[in-house]
Amino acid sequence: MVCLGNICRSPLADGLLRKKVKDLNLDVYVDSAGTANYHVGEAPDHRMCQTAKKFGYSIDELRGRQFVVSDFDTFDLIYAMDKSNLSNILKLARNQEDVQKVALILNESHPEKNLEVPDPYYGGEKEFIEVYNLLNEATDVITASIKHIKK
Ligand code: 4NP
């Protein structure tokens, strides 16, 4: 799960999918990163931690890190929150195999629409809840598509 800062959108996407795969006992490794390095080592934004908590998820323990080229080797699927993140990830792709791993996350729930998860950083509670709703829906679809990967 990749956004710009790795403190708002991608930690929530990470926390949602992590819990969903854990609850189903799936053999799936989930992590998140930012394309920028502004918030490396930081906890997620407290407003996103509160939003997660409100819906029964905890992302307090996550820490920001920057996307690295070796993430193309570590992960089978790389989800970008918006088109700018997508473009920044694709700039680091080394070959077609890397490129094929990357997708806009909302294309899971809204196929081929190329919708973006809006950055809530300068928004209020309404914007944070909107991000939760979009990512909850998308991670439900992702979970359904990987539910055969049992431990
Ligand atoms: P995120 O939100 O990409 O969803 O983590 C942002 C967080 C911080 C900044 C930008 C976006 N920032 O410019 O510091």
User: Where residue 124 sits, what CATH number does that domain have?
Assistant: 3.40.50.2300
Interval 44-103: pLDDT, tens:
999 999 999 999 999 999 999 999 999 999 999 999 999 999 999 999 999 999 999 999
Range of the domain at 73: 2-150
Amino acid making up residue 43: A
How many beta carbons lie within 10 A of that of residue 151, not counting itself? 8
Alpha carbon nearest to ligand 1 atom 6, residue: 5
Q: Tell me what pLDDT residue 84 has.
A: 98
pTM of this prediction?
0.98
Pick the atom of ligand 1 nearest to 5's CA. Answer: 5
| Total tally of structural domains belonging to the chain | 1
Helix, strand or coil, per DSSP, at residue 100: helix
Q: Map tokens 């890397």 to a residue.
A: 98
Say if residues 120 and 95 touch (Cβ distance below 8 Å): no
Of 14, 45, 82, 119, the active-site residue reads 119
